Each structure stands twice: as structure tokens, then as C-alpha cells.
Amino acid sequence: MTSARKTAAIASAMVAVVLGTTSCTTTKEPEPQRQFALSPAPPSFTEGDDYTVESRIPTVLDGQQVVYFDRTDGRLIMSLSGTSKSGQPSEDDPRGGALISVDPKTNEVTELARHGKPGAPRYIVDVAVAGKTVVWVETTQGNYDAMPWRLYALNLETGVEKELASYQQLGIKDPPWPSPDAIRPQVVGDDVYVVAVDRVDDQQNVVQTSAYRVPLTGGKLEKVVPKATGAWAAGRELDVLVDSTLTRWDPDRGSSGEATGAGLPADCGAFAAKGVRVACTTADGRRRLTVESTEHGRFTVDLGRNTVGYLNGTSDWVSFSTGDRAFVLDLRRGKLFSLPGSNDTGTSRLSGRSFIYVKQTSSPDAMRLVTLADKDR
């Protein structure tokens, strides 16, 4: 079930510097391209030219399907799915729903937490790692009918696990799923932020969400951003999606924390991470993706009439999917690539130039941790 980027590069020029009778010339890198489109199709992402493979991530361990979420200290943070003897998903497999860490070199597995039991499974929705602490959202529902969630934190050094919060604190029985932008916990300082359903009106078909926070030590949920439908950690601040606008929020100011500066319109999708903000907008039936990078400048992608999903990224790259195709925008080189064999990319919580390249295949090494190439093609 499843899984947020200073100035523009200097234009290419030959610069002559004359000091007395001595001169020299310096060639600068070409300016990255700023505007892209999906038609004609962008070039394919090619191993060697555009990326290198750091490691291959298992999708099956001991006959069980596994889902990758994050990594810490060189180990992968994953979850196990309950599996029957025939290899199909099973609610009666006592191994299902476990949070594990895996050594990518040896596939050695360490179980971190397990709350389900045969006939009463748990499903891990999403995970965040902050230093030596793993935070995750869990639910008892394996479908999208409802999401009675619980939020946990585990200190990897001490082994102490704590339930931080749950849907019950908001008084909504069997709350529906929030938007896909809302299921990922975010850690800022000593607090965890979640976007949760806090109002349901079946007669008017209204489902309202807001951003809440709770200390890593546990406590009462505090509403921070009313009516937020998405929230992403950006250093010591949050980027939040409210009324189809991506806005910077200062959590130290609580519910009055909207930062100064213009927000980004985002009526068809949004994502943010430290150093980058991504927003999808619609005009005359066509969609456009706008990427604002603190370091690399502003980029746009004409999506045509395609919908967009699986928005991910760091300060160096942004990836997205149009349903049957996935793309990655290399912000450093100013190049857009299509990802052969993929309609999704992996976690946004990787830093810098690395991400998970997921191929839609039954191969046990369908997930690969890759790093963007330094050199130009």
C-alpha cells in the first residue's frame, strides 16, 4: 500500500579575463533546459549514461512479498505481507504486517515490530525515518473502504516502541482514506505530523482533513493546519496543501503559522521536500507541472491531458507518473527522461541523487537503488 529538491545555472559563455597583458578563457556548463513536454516522448533513462545501480532491493524474502519504505545506517526499512502457501496474499499468515530491516548485501532480516496476528492482520501504510527513530502509520484494513489508523515510533538504539496517536482521538469511526498526499508521516524536529480525516458528512458527501502533530514521545494530537490535504517536511518548516495551494508553514506558530510569500497553485497534485516544491495545475483541460528548486531554478513540464501521480523527489530530481508511464526530471542536468518498464518510482525520502527505480516485472530484483550520473550525455 502503498510509498516532497539557489540560483539558476549560469548560461554557457566564453569569458575573457584580461589582467595586464595576460588573458585566459573559461568554458561554463550549458544552462539546463527549463521547459519540457511529454510529446514527443523524452529519451529513455539509460544505465551507465544517466544512472548507476548501487544495489538491487529484494521484493520477495522467504516466500513473502515485501514493500520498501526507507533506509537507515545502510539497512532497508521494509514490511512483510501475509502470504499463503500458494503465494497469494493471506490474512492468516502470522508473519504478515511486520516491520523489518534488511541488510541489502546479505538479505539478513531483523524484525522491528509486529502487531497483527492470524485472522486480525495489520497493514503498514507508510514509514518515515528520522535519525535513529522509525515512525509509521498502520491500519487494520487491507482495502480502501476505511483507514482506522495508528501511529507508532520505534527508537532503534533503545528498542523502545510507543504508540503516538490513533484515529480514535479524532472521534471518527472507521474514517475513510485521506488523499494519497496525506498518508505519509512527516518528522520535523521532535514532532511527527500526519494529515488525518477529522470530519465526515455522509449526507453532503464531505470528507475533511487537517494536519496534526504529536511529540515523538507521544501525547495529544494538536491541530496545526486546518483543512490541509497534504503536508511535507521541509527542514524546520512544513509545506502544506490547503485549498489547492502549496504553502510554506511555520509549525512553531501553530495554526497561525502560514509563512509570508506567494503559494503555488496546485489543483491536480503537489509534493515538496527540502529545497524543492512541485505543483500541478490545470488550464483548458491541459495540465502542467511546475518545479521550483532552491538550487537549480524553475522548470515546467507540459503534461497534456494526462493526470499525474506518484510525485516524489529531492533537491536534485523529481519523478512522476501518468498512470502507464513514469518519468524523472534531473534538475542538475536539466533533462527529462522516461523510465522504461516503470509506471512508478520509489521513496522520496532518499537524499541527493539517489532514488528507487521500480520496474513492473515479476523479477525478484525489480527494485533497484540508483544514483543519477554526474556526467552529461
What average pLDDT does the segment 335-346 reach?
80
**Residue 42 and residue 65: Cα distance in Å, rounded?**
32
- List, as one string, the DSSP characters of 324-362: S-EEEEETTTTEEEE-TT-SEE--S-S-TTEEEEE-SSS
Determine what percent of the chain is predicted with pLDDT higher than 90.
41
The pLDDT tens digits for 87-146 are 666 666 766 778 999 887 788 889 999 988 777 778 888 898 888 899 999 988 877 778
pLDDT at 196 over 70: yes
Label residue 85 by pLDDT band (50, 70, 90): low
Query: Which of 124-128, 201-205, 232-236 has maximum average pLDDT?
Result: 124-128
Short-list 108, 116, 110, CA closest to 82: 116
DSSP string covering 249-305: E-GGGGGG-BPSSPPEE-SS-EEEETTEEEEEEEETTEEEEEEEETTTEEEEEEEET
Residue 34 lies in a domain: yes
The CATH number that applies at residue 361 is 2.130.10.10
268 CB burial (10 A radius; 0-12, 13-18, 19+): middle
Distance CA 261, CA 247 (A): 8
300 found inside a domain:
yes
- 73 lies in a domain? yes
**Cell 539558476 found at:** 8
Selection from 293, 198, 213 nearest residue 250 by Cα: 213
Give the pLDDT of residue 8.
28
d(CA 214, CA 187): 10
> Which H or E run includes 64?
strand 64-72
In a domain, 116, yes or no: yes
Instruction: Give the pLDDT score at 27.
Output: 44
Asked if the structure places residue 5 within a domain, the reply is no
| Grid cell in block for residue 341 | 518498464
- What single DSSP character describes residue 215? E
Alpha-carbon distance of 324 to 321, in angstroms, equals 7
Q: Mean of the per-residue pLDDT values for the chain?
A: 81
**CB < 8 Å & 24+ apart, contacts of 48-52:** 48/373, 49/373, 49/377, 50/330, 50/335, 50/337, 50/372, 50/373, 50/377, 51/357, 51/370, 51/371, 51/372, 51/373, 52/370, 52/371, 52/373
Say how many domains are in the chain: 1
- Residue 109 resides in a domain: yes
How much is the average pLDDT of 214-235?
90
> How far is the C-alpha of 68 from the C-alpha of 80, rounded, in Å?
9
User: Does some domain include residue 3?
Assistant: no
Residue 89, all three cell numbers: 496474499
Pairing of strands 35-37, 297-304: parallel
Q: Which helix (H) or strand (E) is 55 found in, with range?
A: strand 51-57
Residue 115 burial (CB count, 10 A): 17
* pLDDT at 184 > cutoff 90: no
Q: How far apart are the first and last CA of the chain?
A: 36
Question: Domain span at residue 268?
Answer: 14-372
Alpha carbon distance 346, 344 (integer Å):
7
Among the listed residues 285, 284, 280, 211, the one whose alpha carbon sits nearest the alpha carbon of residue 244: 280
13: left (phi over 0), alpha (psi -120 to 50) or beta: beta
Least confident stretch, 18-22, 24-28, 260-264, 320-324 = 18-22
3-state helix, strand, coil in the chain (%, to 5): 5, 50, 45
The H or E element spanning position 280 is: strand 276-283
In a domain, 8, yes or no: no
